[in-house]
Amino acid sequence: MNAHEKEELAAFLLEAEEKKQDVVRITAEKRPNLSVEEAYAIQETLVDTKRKQGKSVVGPKMGLTSKAKMQQMNVEEPIYGYIFDDMVVSGDSISMSSFIHPKAEAEVAFILGEDIEGPGISGAQVLGATKYVVPALEIIDSRYENFNFTLPDVIADNASSSAVVFGTTVKKPEELELDVIGTTLSINGEIKDLGAGAAVLGHPANSVAMLANMLHRKGQKLEAGQIILTGGITGAVPVSVGDYVEASLDGLHSVHFSVK
């Protein structure tokens, strides 16, 4: 894929994100044989464009970290994307007009105290390099019609990244057993899904370790100060106007937002 094609496809996805207008997946018509490698190259171009627009990266994130999502997509490895500063929700409400068809999922985020550079990083090393963990609600919003995509499509689309609400409870990782923290995701007081931290690759720290090892293949590393979304402990649930969305994570209290 040449530079012009990469830029055209990144611009196609960025326009859909800016206009809040869903599009047909890239592999349906534009590039049926898109490979995972090419998809990450499109994602990199999209990320560079956002940086040139003055946005800054809060941290990379992991997606497709649950067995169910990996089986559904027929993959053995999760994917990553990037969360930008303008995706972080500052108040306690979001506007439906900022999204196409948002879904929320409950996650644990890691705030790194040290750089982490692969290869061969383990979950234990990640815990040693992590300053704090916080609860988070990630709002994913695929730019593709009906969330209909193949693996390369969703990689190119920055792993459906759109927004994130961070909770205010901050804990040191050693204060919790992150693999057994029980988590519920409720909408308007009704539990829509639940899980335990182990749903994320056995332990959320394993997700950060895998991310460090995947980035190493590109000559990149995780950096101190980055906030890493580790992947959904619960499934992703569609949200609509009027909803009050709340995730409760044992020991990390709750994180919530309303949809206007």
How many CB atoms lie under 10 A from the CB of residue 172? 12
By beta-carbon proximity to ligand 0L1, the closer residue of 17 and 138 is 138
Query: Helix, strand, coil proportions of the chain in percent (round to 5)?
Result: 35, 30, 35
By beta-carbon proximity to ligand 0L1, the closer residue of 133 and 236 is 236
Query: b/e string for 183-219 if b means 16 or more Cβ within 10 A?
Result: bbbbbeeeebbbbbbbbbbebbbbbbbbbbbbbbeee
Structure tokens of 80?
């990553």
Task: State phi, psi for 70 to the nearest 5 degrees.
Answer: -65, -40
Told to check if 236 binds ligand 0L1 by CB under 6 A, we report yes
**Where do the H-state alpha helices sit in 146-221?**
151-156, 204-216
CA 11 from centroid of its chain's CA atoms: 20
Told to check if 27 binds ligand 0L1 by CB under 6 A, we report no
Q: Which does 159 bind (CB under 5 to 8 A by kind): Mg ion, ligand 0L1, none?
A: ligand 0L1
* Alpha-carbon span 12 to 24, nearest angstrom: 10
By beta-carbon proximity to Mg ion, the closer residue of 138 and 157 is 138
Which x/- pattern over 192-231 shows residues binding ligand 0L1 (rule: CB under 6 A)?
---------------------------------------x
Q: Which region, judged by CB under 6 A, interacts with ligand 0L1, from 11-19, 33-41, 140-148, 247-255?
A: 140-148
- φ/ψ region of 239 (left if φ > 0, alpha if ψ in -120 to 50, else beta) reads beta
- Of the candidate residues 116, 232, 248, 249, the single one contacting ligand 0L1 (CB under 6 A): 232
Site for Mg ion in 217-236 (CB under 5 A): 232
Least CB distance to Mg ion at residue 197 (A): 14
How many CB atoms lie under 10 A from the CB of residue 52? 8
- Of the candidate residues 138, 141, 153, 193, the single one contacting Mg ion (CB under 5 A): 138
By beta-carbon proximity to ligand 0L1, the closer residue of 52 and 58 is 58
Told to check if 141 binds Mg ion by CB under 5 A, we report no
Q: Which does 235 bind (CB under 5 to 8 A by kind): ligand 0L1, Mg ion, none?
A: none
DSSP-derived 3-state class of residue 92: coil
- Of the candidate residues 27, 142, 158, 184, the single one contacting ligand 0L1 (CB under 6 A): 142
Q: Which region, judged by CB under 6 A, interacts with ligand 0L1, from 1-9, 90-98, 135-143, 204-212?
A: 135-143
Lateral strand order in the sheet of 93-94: 93-94, 253-259, 244-249, 182-187, 190-196
By beta-carbon proximity to Mg ion, the closer residue of 173 and 232 is 232
> Comparing C-alpha atoms, which of 194, 203, 208 is closest to residue 247?
194
- Which residues lie near ligand 0L1 (CB under 6 A)? 63-64, 138, 140, 142, 147, 154, 159-160, 231-232, 236
- Which residues lie near Mg ion (CB under 5 A)? 138, 232
